[in-house]
Amino acid sequence: MSGIYIHIPFCKQACHYCDFHFSTSMKKKDEMVLALVKEMELRKNEFQNEIIETIYFGGGTPSVLSIDDIRFLIDAVYKHYQVVENPEITLEANPDDLDNEIILQYANSPINRLSIGVQSFFEDDLQLMNRAHNSAEAKKCLEFATQHFDNISIDLIYGMPNMSNEKWLQNIETALSFNIPHISSYALTVEPKTALHKMIKSGSIPALDDDLAQQHFHILIDKLQENGFVHYELSNFGKPDYFSKNNTAYWLGKKYIGIGPSAHSYNGKNRSWNIANNSLYLKAIAENKLPSETEILSKTDQYNEYIMTGLRTFWGVSLERIETEFGADYLNYLLQQSEKYISDNLLEIENNVLKTTKKGKFLSDGIASDLFMLN
Ligand code: SF4
């Protein structure tokens, strides 16, 4: 089973913290939709023996596309790949695009999961992030969307400068009041070359506080677990039966094909990624060329990836899998590197599975990098 990811590289405006690939010029939108379909056609043989289980529209902002464009892309997936009977079809959408009419159009289409970029219910946070929507739009779209979709996820950002624990808790409680079954929540991070980076450097806003982000993270876990959510991945919480199938497949190392500028693909052995430039992508596709680079993953790369994703999830890292797939040397190295984290109560081994403890969860990426094998 595999997934297909379709990257829609357009946004109405640039959020201050974002380093994803997108353009704020919509001029090439129609040309892009045709190119995405053509890329699927050019790559139809890559996944010939695979069955597509999930279709994911990410970005950028997929909700800038018309419903006809989205249907056209879904039809192309069905035309060029084998698809299971009821695939999970997720569309990332921003609240400013989601008026009642659009939500109804989505509900009457094959889309069966919405991932809505709310980020915060507070006006000042949204302005600081330079989001295109306001708090009223976020609430209004959730009120209507929950009447037509049962599978909804929202994104929330914590660790904002000056965000008190009380304010963060209020954000979570507002989210819970809509009775949605999935929440993805990320700590605000400062990526190089973003507006946020410049603002912090110039002193116009305070630097981010790691301790505050960690407090927010623990408030989030406690509050969501109290309300029946399973913390199944570092940044993801779902009610049972509502985990993201698309992302779970990715974390469990299944194959996926990424279509569109900057999209990544994984075929079980190689990872490849398309050029993160709309014009160069369009030019290459028009010439029937695939604008991608490929990296062959060594055994060590595969071990490192498994450690990184495994520690982020509640499935953890299976020591048996490490031994059978990578060998005794890797297992011994892992156990040796893990020792100090186990004695500091940041990692634990349960039923032959290595996992982060509640205390270690927030630090899982840093711990994982210390367990990596060097090439
Ligand atoms: S809408 Fe999403 S992809 Fe676009 S700039 Fe904002 S965070 Fe980035």
Non-local (6+) Cβ contacts of 148 within 8 A are 103, 104, 106, 107
Closest by Cα among 313, 166, 113 to 230: 313
Over the stretch 11-30, which tens digit does the pLDDT of each residue have? 999 999 999 999 999 999 99
Q: Indicate if the pLDDT at residue 313 is higher than 90.
A: yes
Q: Ligand 1 pocket: which of 16, 17, 61, 188 to mutate (most atoms <8 Å of CB)?
A: 61
CB 116 within 8 A of CB 145: yes
What is d(CA 178, CA 232) in angstroms, rounded to the nearest whole number?
21
Q: Is the CB of 10 under 6 A from ligand 1?
A: no
Nearest ligand 1 atom to alpha carbon 14 = 5
Rounded mean pLDDT, 258-267: 96
Model pLDDT, residue 202? 95
**Which amino acid appears at position 260 of this protein?**
G
Model pLDDT, residue 209? 93
Q: Indicate if the pLDDT at residue 375 is higher than 80.
A: no
Q: How many CA atoms lie within 13 A of 199 on its CB side?
A: 18
**Exposed, middle or buried, 149 (CB in 10 Å: 0-12/13-18/19+)?**
middle
Model pLDDT, residue 161? 87
Any idea which residue has 């190392």 for tokens?
253
Q: Indicate if the pLDDT at residue 296 is higher than 80.
A: yes
Q: Is the CB of 195 under 6 A from ligand 1?
A: no
The pLDDT > 90 percentage for the chain reads 96
What is d(CA 254, CA 1) in angstroms, rounded to the nearest whole number?
7
Rounded mean pLDDT, 192-208: 94
Q: Indicate if the pLDDT at residue 4 is higher than 90.
A: yes
DSSP state for residue 86 in the 8-state scheme: E
Rounded mean pLDDT, 179-206: 95
Q: Which residues is 182 bridged to in the sheet?
A: 153, 238
Rounded mean pLDDT, 231-255: 95
**Exposed, middle or buried, 103 (CB in 10 Å: 0-12/13-18/19+)?**
buried
Over the stretch 41-61, which tens digit does the pLDDT of each residue have? 999 999 888 999 999 999 999
Q: Is the CB of 158 under 6 A from ligand 1?
A: no
Determine the angle formed by the axes of helices 67-80 and 100-107, rounding to 10 degrees. 20
Q: Is the CB of 59 under 6 A from ligand 1?
A: yes
Top CATH class of 299-371 equals mainly alpha
Nearest ligand 1 atom to alpha carbon 129 = 6
Model pLDDT, residue 196? 95
Look over the chain and give the mean of its residue pLDDT values, rounded to a whole number.
96
Model pLDDT, residue 152? 98
Domain 2-251 has CATH 3.40.50.10600: no
**How far, in Å, from the CA of 276 to the mean position of ligand 1?**
15
What is d(CA 127, CA 318) in angstroms, rounded to the nearest whole number?
43
Confidence band (pLDDT; 50, 70, 90) for 135? very high
Which residue ranges make up each domain of the chain?
2-251, 299-371
Over the stretch 72-118, which tens digit does the pLDDT of each residue have? 999 999 999 999 999 999 999 999 999 999 999 999 999 999 999 99
Rounded mean pLDDT, 335-352: 98
Model pLDDT, residue 49? 87
Model pLDDT, residue 128? 94
Nearest ligand 1 atom to alpha carbon 13 = 5
Paired tokens of 121: 């219910």
Q: Indicate if the pLDDT at residue 299 is higher than 80.
A: yes
Q: Indicate if the pLDDT at residue 1 is higher than 90.
A: no
Model pLDDT, residue 154? 98
Rounded mean pLDDT, 328-354: 97
Model pLDDT, residue 48? 85
Max CA separation in the chain (angstroms): 58
Paired tokens of 354: 């290595």
CB 63 within 8 A of CB 91: yes
Over the stretch 142-174, which tens digit does the pLDDT of each residue have? 999 999 999 999 999 999 988 999 999 999 999
